[in-house]
Chain A
Amino acid sequence: MRVEVDQPKCVASGQCVLVAPEVFDQDDDGIVVLLDTEPGAEHEEAVRESAAICPAAAIRLVQE
């Protein structure tokens, strides 16, 4: 599983950081920072949930 984020779309809500703190962080402006572009299977559910609740639809999962 590969994760892609669209930083220009990000609205800095930080919802992804609350759900999957091992995979996402925010910079000083609140914009999403990807900590791990290919997180392990143990993070898959949290990453999917982050993508689903992201209010900007700025997170995408790509299945290899």
Chain B
Amino acid sequence: MTAAPPRRIVVVGASAAGLSAAETLRRQGYDGSLTLVGREPHPPYDRPPLSKQILDGTWEPERVRLRSPADLDALGLDLRLGVPAAALAPAARTVTLADGTELGYDGLIIATGVRPRRLPGCGTPGVHVLRDLKDALALRERLAAGGRLVVVGAGFLGAEVASAARSLGVAVTLVEPSPVPLAHAVGRQAGAQLARLHRDNGVDLRTGTKATGITTGAGRATGVRLDDGTAVVADDVLVAVGSAPNTDWLRGSGLPVGDGVECDRYGAAAPGVYAAGDVARWYNPLFGTRMRVEHRTNAAEQGMAVARNLLDPERARPFAPVPYFWSDQYGLRVQAFGYLRGHDEARVVDGTPADGRFLVAYRTGDRLTGALGVGMPPRALRPWRAAIAAAADWRTATAGSPDGAAEPSRA
């Protein structure tokens, strides 16, 4: 069946994935109507700097803008900012916005991202989450004033905020329920080194400890209560306990929604309906598994991929990327390629963890599935990325590096 080419495309979500999709549609020659819907009032902006350069004050907020006004204008968008989507009716092919506006479409791209998970008491003044520009600016104002911060959750976001806060001289307590932060994501050895980095930089890191509630006084947060019966006193609390896909608006739409919008290998959730970015869960044929990736680079790449597939479903290509992420902590860069989650083995293949410069390779089954570098030159990671993209066999890939040597061997 060959459908008529779309003439009305709606992209819901005006962040990295939505913008990338919109740009790709135009670049591929699509000249029909193109509506870009954004929950926030801002034109598309970049989120990774929020927990880094925005928080520590090295960048002014204008710098996170992803495109100049002229570049945005050139896309010829019907830009609907400051109003979230409220409902989807795939049979009628309409998206309804929160202000009641109904948008008809022939093609739809869902890129509504994620929102921070919260704890009871999150609405109390002095309790922060960090996802949006306004969150970052509110926390930055408080950090700039000094004081004490408690961060709940030592994932990448919590770690970056702790790092930025320390650089401003703020006293930081970091509370983490698991014994080794990030062990489930990067393995125990790398996680332990990242934990050491916090302690070396003066963070009071409490692992194996769960925050059970926010303590308050005079209508403001005064810290958090811990499951060992003690409390941490602070002027501000950042809750960084992960995020949840923004799929509430799809309830009742009949679209497959689980942990995100469930898509096939092409990024399609239904005929003419695609999803991209943090909200999308799809089958990545390179790794033979379904995944949802909350990383900046994936948002842009997946936005491009689904835009192409939407315009040309007959020649759709599976979206089979090697995921990539980076994190900046205490002046050290953490970079990783591949799919580390659920790995069976993590092995240091280069550098020395104790020196703070090392490279870890990850095995899942009998395959090399990931590589992570801490304080390593990016060039050192490149051959590992290539080996991951080639679905290299673990023993072959690590043959040249019994417990130290440099490059993965590719047969």
Contacts and interface: CB of A to CB of B under 8 A. Distances in A.
Interface of A: 9, 11-15, 17-18, 26, 28-30, 48-49, 52-57
B48 A11 contact: yes
Given A11-B326, A15-B324, A48-B27, A55 B296 contact: yes
A28 B377 contact: yes
Interface of B: 20, 23-24, 27, 46, 48, 63, 66-67, 296-297, 300-301, 304, 324, 326, 333, 335, 377-379, 381-382, 385
Contacts of A12: 326, 333, 335, 378
Nearest to B382: A14
Majority DSSP secondary structure for residues of B touching A: helix
B297 A57 contact: no
Nearest to A48: B27
Nearest to B20: A52
9 contacts: A13-B335, A28-B379, A30-B378, A52-B23, A52-B24, A53-B20, A55-B48, A55-B296, A55-B297
A49 B307 CA distance: 13
Given A13-B326, A26-B378, A52 B333 contact: no
A60 to B, nearest CB: 9
A48 B24 CA distance: 10
Contacts of A13: 297, 324, 326, 335, 378
A12 B373 CA distance: 13
A29 B378 CA distance: 7
Given A29-B378, A55-B324, 18 more contacts: A12-B326, A12-B333, A12-B335, A12-B378, A13-B324, A14-B382, A18-B385, A28-B377, A28-B379, A29-B377, A30-B333, A30-B378, A49-B304, A52-B24, A52-B27, A55-B300, A57-B66, A57-B67
Contact of B297 (A17, A30, A49, A53): A53
Contacts of B300: 52-55
A42 to B, nearest CB: 16
Contacts of B27: 48, 52
Nearest to B68: A60
B326 A26 contact: no
Contacts of A17: 382
A13 B385 CA distance: 12
A26 B63 CA distance: 23
Contacts of B66: 57
A9 B335 CA distance: 16
